[in-house]
Amino acid sequence: MSTISKPWDKDPVLTVEHLTMRFGGLVAVNDLSFSAGRGDITALIGPNGAGKTTVFNCITGFYKPTTGMMTMRHKDGATHLLERMPDFVVSKKAKVARTFQNIRLFSGMTLLENLLVAQHNPLMIASGMTFLGVLGIGGYKAKERQAIEKAKYWLDKIKLTDRADDPAGDLPYGAQRRLEIARAMCTGPALLCLDEPAAGLNPRESAELNELLLGIRRDEDTSILLIEHDMSVVMEISDHVVVLEYGTKISDGTPAETKNDPRVIAAYLGVDDEEVDKVEHELDEVQAHHTQGSGQ
């Protein structure tokens, strides 16, 4: 976009370059490039069908992109090319976690178990591929206790400690959303991708969510990439906004910049009232002119 280097380009946790995803003749994402800064909350917004979720699906290994490169850069300098990884490696090695628009918890398992499943890999190693764990040999017990501690920490953060042993499916909607975020955080991600976390939340729950996300940015080593329709969430918490329309990027900048970008206003926020008035006024004038003309 602009030649001036943006803050998020200096130390990006994720860079997406020339990402294109085609489904037959449909181009869902068209030559998209952006970067998400380390420690930032980056929002990906756009009207329905703009290709936001497709971008997420490419990042998390659900889809193999038609073309393009997606690079995760860890703090230690290690880089991972996401487009080459099967889905479980994206979480295990590249440390990308995600949530879904429609909640996908393991509803038959308890809250605690949901959070422990997310810590599968370290536990699997500690249990010596389960065999030693069943026999009670080795450091499995200690590792398991550590994992439970971590799970409790997150249950505390999402204020669901007292329901730790209930099945996740019994929780109310807002709590399930928070649990899904906590579960994603339990994988120890460097990048957390949230697909419309505020969808269906009431204003109070929405405010709690903002607090949770800001808390993650403040306390954890995790950057956040966010798809959101709720503009109050986007404008309040994000550092950087990328706007998509029909799979193409139309704007990229700080919330204030994108908010005032005419292309965004036209495409996404709609034309505001003043402009409507102005257009209507012009139309009236034209019409008046015409009636004058025909009257002569």
Partner 1 sequence: MEVFIQQVINGITIGSLYGLIAIGYTMVFGIIGMVNFAHGDVFMVSAFFALIFFLALTAWLGIASITITLLIVMVISMVLTGLLSWAIERIAYSPLRGSFRLAPLISAIGMSIVLSNFVQVAQGPRNKPIPPMVRETFTLWENNGYAVTISLKQVIIMAVTAVLLVAFWYMVQKTALGRAQRACEQDRKMAGLLGINVDRTISLTFVIGAALAAVAGTLYLMYYGVVHFADGFTPGVKAFTAAVLGGIGSLPGAVLGGLLIGLIETLWGQYVSADYQNVAAFSILVIVLIFMPQGLLGRPEVEKV
Q: How far is CA 276 from the centre of its chain?
A: 33
The binder of partner 1 chosen from 2, 5, 129, 296 (CB under 8 A): 129
236 contact partners, CB below 8 Å, separation of at least 6: 210
Q: Is residue 91 near partner 1 by the rule CB under 8 A?
A: yes
d(CA 240, CA 251): 11
Q: Tell me, what DSSP letter sits at residue 267?
A: I
Residue 189 CB, shortest distance to partner 1, in Å, is 10
- Taking the chain, what is the end-to-end CA distance rounded to the nearest angstrom? 53
Size of residue set near partner 1 by CB under 8 A: 35
Q: Considering beta carbons, is residue 174 or 188 the nearer one to partner 1? A: 188
φ, ψ at 96 (rounded to 5°):
-115, 130
d(CA 183, CA 177): 10
The binder of partner 1 chosen from 1, 9, 10, 87 (CB under 8 A): 87
Other Cβ atoms within 10 Å of 10 Cβ, number: 10
Q: Considering beta carbons, is residue 104 or 281 the nearer one to partner 1? A: 104
Q: Is residue 120 near partner 1 by the rule CB under 8 A?
A: yes
Residues 140-169 that bind partner 1 (CB under 8 A): 140
d(CA 240, CA 257): 9
Residue 53 CB, shortest distance to partner 1, in Å, is 14
Helix (H, G, I), strand (E, B) or coil at 80: strand
Q: Tell me, what DSSP letter sits at residue 4?
A: S
Q: Is residue 80 near partner 1 by the rule CB under 8 A?
A: no
| Contacting range for partner 1; rule: CB under 8 A; set: 34-42, 63-71, 116-124, 275-283 | 116-124
Residues 167-226 that bind partner 1 (CB under 8 A): 183-184, 187
| Contacting range for partner 1; rule: CB under 8 A; set: 37-45, 96-104, 203-211, 221-229 | 96-104
Contact in structure between 44 and 98 (CB atoms under 8 Å)? no
Q: Is residue 117 near partner 1 by the rule CB under 8 A?
A: yes
The secondary structure element, H or E, covering residue 225 is strand 223-227
Residues 217-256 that bind partner 1 (CB under 8 A): none
Q: Is residue 97 near partner 1 by the rule CB under 8 A?
A: yes
Instruction: Tell me the sheet residues that pair with 26.
Output: 23
Q: Considering beta carbons, is residue 47 or 128 the nearer one to partner 1? A: 128
Q: Give the length of the chain.
A: 296
Q: Is residue 88 near partner 1 by the rule CB under 8 A?
A: yes
Q: Which amino acid is at 97?
A: A
The site string for partner 1 over 49-78 (x = CB under 8 A, - otherwise) reads -----------xxx----------------
* Token pair 């329309």 in the structure block, residue: 245
Q: Give residues in contact with partner 1 (CB under 8 A).
A: 60-62, 86-88, 90-92, 97-98, 100, 104, 106-109, 113, 116-121, 123-124, 127, 129-130, 133-134, 140, 183-184, 187
